[in-house]
Amino acid sequence: MIGRVFNGRYRITERIGIGGMAEVYKAQDQVLGRTVAVKVMLPQYAADPEFTARFKQEAASAANLQSPYIVNVYDWGQDDGTYFIVMEFVRGTDLKSAIQQRGAINQRKVAEIGSQVCQALSVAHGLDIIHRDIKPQNIMVQPDGNVKVMDFGIARAKNSVKTQTSSVLGTAHYISPEQAQGKELDGTSDMYSLGCVLYEAATGQLPFDGPDAVSVAMRQVNEAPVPPSQINPEIHPDLEAIILKAMEKNPVNRFRTAREMKHALDDFMMGRPVNLGENVNSAATQVMNGVVPPISNDVPGGTAVMPAVSSMNGNSGPMKTVDYRAGGKEFDMGKKKSSKRTVGIVIGALVAILAIAGIALAVSGAFGGQTRVPDVTGQTEEAARQAIEAAGYVVGEVTEENSTDTVSGRVIRTDPAADSELAKGETVNIVVSIGAKKGTVPDLNGKTAEEAQQMIEDAGFVAKFGGNESSDAEENTVSRQDPASGTEADEGTTITYWISTGPELTNVPNVIGDDQATARATLESAGFTVSIQDGEYSDRYDEGVVMSQEPNGGQLEAGETVTIYISLGKDPATIPVNVPAVTGMSESEAISELNSAGFTNVGVSYESSNTVPEGDVIRQTQSGTATTDTYIEIVVSSGSGSSSTDDTQPTDPDDSTTQSDSQG
């Protein structure tokens, strides 16, 4: 595949990824001169006509999604039986790799990632596009910390290989219960998958795991997740509640929309009370009884196609519930145990917890008190000071920092971080936002797409390709940009640029055979300047008719000159005319008569004659009609005596002197 050029435009340079449905390559767009990613669908899927039909529809739908958090789809098509999609090449790493390398991620960063993914999902759901394969492998983290979601619409296309819902598409570790069962999906399925992603990011562990995809999917349907705080005690109760609400087994109990989930995550980041929606009081994760059928697991962590089940199997009793609210976390896996034994275990556990808590309180009291740094993110400096001092700490250094996420004058973070354990009386430093860093939009005029992209990113902005357009700018360079160069803008602002395909060209009309007036009007109405030149004599084109033009066809810019050449008609020299009868005329009269008729090629010879007076024409070699370039000879009398025929010569009509033979 390396070196192959798709559609004569996208040259493959290296493979950068492989999944269960496709391979992804880095490529060079040879038209726009930019780096792109090309996703090539595997042959077993590209060969299915139903798949290809939906693939085209979904690729076109994905190309319509416009969001700074969605990977742009530039192009798609088919080349020699291979179906491909051309996407924005995103620099950075996928979230899965980040989790594998670092383990649990800072919980505020987890919320920020979730908020951005929610914004992307909100755009897609608004266009009736369900992702169906949200997983950390499809979330790219860029160098600036922002994310981009990949593969919008592609999962839906793959899920539409058959008209019946007899197959289910997804990745077992992140698939929603209803998706595993082949049920009709809506946007809440994507939110369940996002909940699984945030769970993994916040804890460093998958919510459900197993030896194979089948067992993992069965746990998605049948089990409730372990509350994240049991894995990572640092997790804030509000973030935990958001994650578990997104992972409700019953879609009705999840966030109603991606926007609602985004608001909850934003509230958590800004330190505001988190609204979990109307069903917050129930706060119950319902565990669905049932089994999941066999699942293809050829690609670890990859998108799997699995047969669906039409109904749930297994126990038909009431669904169990798990209360995940802060303070007393019950975790019922649905197993039947003796109630007395259960009560005993619970009482014993409570006694042990209280004993440990008592010891901890005694120790903390002896040493002045150990508590947690309050979360003052998003508060004003004054409000943050009051909260920190009220918690028993001393406010230390207050520094300022640019931020695109926190408004000016509000707290970005504290040091030590919020929720950190810290003895009372210790110092807490505050970092306050001074707003987004400003930058000057660079001048992209005359730059190639790749150069423009690099300049925008180097200046701290986000680059977006607006499309191709005809303009006076040089071909394959930036024709215009928005905002304009020199504008002051916040760092992270999107700068859109358009690439010129060169000036707009117009087809040159063919006016050969038209009369001069008609030809001129035709060319001028097409936007061209007309130059008229004399042509040549022509047997084909009448006088006054266009016999040729420059250029003849092709395209020119409006206002350029087209030259037309006008026929002079037939060459007079080729038209037969009457030859004057000059016998008996004097030599000079005869020559003048012939010249006047157009015959200029006249020769004179002399001959003695006893009957024709000397100097008069005895006879002529041509009579009747002839073309004017015909040679005509006149024989002139030299009087009586010997004749002289060696003096024959053509005459010049402008030469009044004629040569005569004086021999007598």
Indicate which residues carry an active-site annotation. Answer: 133
DSSP E strands, 19-95: 22-29, 34-41, 73-79, 82-88, 93-94
Q: State the Cα–Cα distance between residues 455 and 585, nearest whole angstrom.
A: 95
Q: State the Cα–Cα distance between residues 162 and 167, nearest whole angstrom.
A: 8
Enter the DSSP assignment of 225.
P
Question: Could you tell me if 98 and 142 are in contact, meaning their C-beta atoms sit under 8 angstroms apart?
Answer: no
Tokens of 624: 């009747």
Tokens of 342: 């259960």
Q: State the Cα–Cα distance between residues 497 and 617, nearest whole angstrom.
A: 90
Q: State the Cα–Cα distance between residues 106 and 202, nearest whole angstrom.
A: 7
CA dist 29 → 12, 37, 75, 199, 557 (Å): 9, 9, 11, 38, 27
Contacts of 360 (CB under 8 A, 6+ apart): none
Question: Could you tell me if 145 and 77 are in contact, meaning their C-beta atoms sit under 8 angstroms apart?
Answer: no
Contacts of 356 (CB under 8 A, 6+ apart): none
CA dist 414 → 269, 383, 428, 566, 603 (Å): 13, 13, 7, 86, 119
SS3 87: strand
Question: Could you tell me if 288 and 316 are in contact, meaning their C-beta atoms sit under 8 angstroms apart?
Answer: no
Encoded amino acid at 342, one letter: T
- The DSSP result for 157-198, as a single string, is HHTTSSSSS-EEEE-TTT--HHHHTT----HHHHHHHHHHHH
Q: State the Cα–Cα distance between residues 506 and 551, nearest whole angstrom.
A: 12
CA dist 245 → 139, 232, 252, 257, 326 (Å): 21, 18, 10, 12, 13
Pairing of strands 370-372, 438-440: unpaired
Question: Could you tell me if 551 and 520 are in contact, meaning their C-beta atoms sit under 8 angstroms apart?
Answer: no
Taking every pair of Cα atoms in the chain, the longest distance, rounded to a whole number of angstroms, is: 167
Question: Could you tell me if 192 and 247 are in contact, meaning their C-beta atoms sit under 8 angstroms apart?
Answer: yes
Q: State the Cα–Cα distance between residues 279 and 300, nearest whole angstrom.
A: 36
**According to the annotation, is 39 in a ligand binding site?**
yes
Tokens of 466: 């607006």
Encoded amino acid at 453, one letter: Q
Question: Could you tell me if 194 and 130 are in contact, meaning their C-beta atoms sit under 8 angstroms apart?
Answer: no
Which residue, chain included where needed, has tokens 């109630």? 339
Contacts of 355 (CB under 8 A, 6+ apart): none
Positive or negative CA dihedral for 308, 311, 315, 320?
positive
Question: Could you tell me if 65 and 151 are in contact, meaning their C-beta atoms sit under 8 angstroms apart?
Answer: no
354 Cα distance to chain centroid: 60
Could you tell me which of 111, 77, 327 has the C-alpha nearest to residue 199? 111
89 Cα distance to chain centroid: 10
420 Cα distance to chain centroid: 44
| 415-428 core/surface letters (b: 16 or more CB in 10 A; e: else) | ebbbbeebeeeeeb
Residue positions forming the annotated binding site for ATP: 39
